[in-house]
């Protein structure tokens, strides 16, 4: 059984050999910040919530985004052939490309979703803000906000983030 088949053993087929896409997404929780705040640049510090507050970082998708324009979600993207060996690698790459965030996904995956055109695997894990702070290197994101779990559930979320947020709340992570 291939790694991708194992990842989707509970939600169905990966669509291997079809036009279905496979993606990875990062769930960036404030409690998983992996750096002493005193080591962060002033720009990065201004972009963080208070340390005692459980929040998730969400980005507003730009009006030019191919899907869910204007909605909120975390960094993520499609597994690129020849670039990413797995959805976890896609989540890591996209966090850096889209937000200037170094992300290390924890295995096993936190959440899995089958959408109409793609299968998405969400990861939690330690992260930190690269030099220069959170920025939007990708034209698909136009802003970012820290949300509590309840605030996130009231927002317009992209892809399957609402179910991932519900699971984070249920497990006491958000």
- pLDDT tens readout for residues 21-73: 899 999 999 999 988 888 888 888 889 998 889 999 999 988 877 788 889 99
- pLDDT tens readout for residues 124-153: 999 999 888 888 866 778 889 999 999 999
- Domains of the chain (ranges, CATH numbers): 3-170 (3.90.79.10)
- pLDDT tens readout for residues 87-128: 999 999 999 988 999 999 999 999 999 988 889 999 999 999
Say which residues have a Cβ less than 8 Å from residue 2's Cβ, sequence separation at least 6: 16
């Amino acid at each position: 059984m291939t790694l991708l088949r194992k990842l989707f053993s509970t939600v169905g087929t990966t669509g291997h050999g079809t036009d279905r896409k496979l993606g990875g997404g990062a769930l960036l929780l404030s409690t998983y910040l992996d750096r002493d705040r005193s080591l962060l640049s002033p720009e990065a510090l201004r972009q963080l919530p208070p340390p005692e507050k459980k929040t998730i970082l969400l980005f507003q998708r730009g009006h030019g985004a191919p899907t869910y324009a204007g909605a909120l979600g975390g960094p993520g993207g499609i597994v690129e052939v020849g670039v990413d060996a797995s959805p976890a690698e896609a989540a890591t790459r996209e966090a850096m490309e889209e937000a200037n965030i170094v992300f290390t996904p924890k295995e096993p995956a936190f959440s899995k979703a089958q959408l109409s055109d793609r299968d998405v695997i969400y990861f939690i894990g330690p992260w930190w803000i690269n030099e220069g702070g959170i920025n939007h290197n990708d034209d698909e994101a136009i802003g970012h906000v820290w949300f509590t779990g309840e605030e996130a559930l009231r927002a317009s979320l992209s892809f399957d983030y609402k179910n991932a947020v519900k699971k984070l709340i249920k497990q006491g992570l958000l």
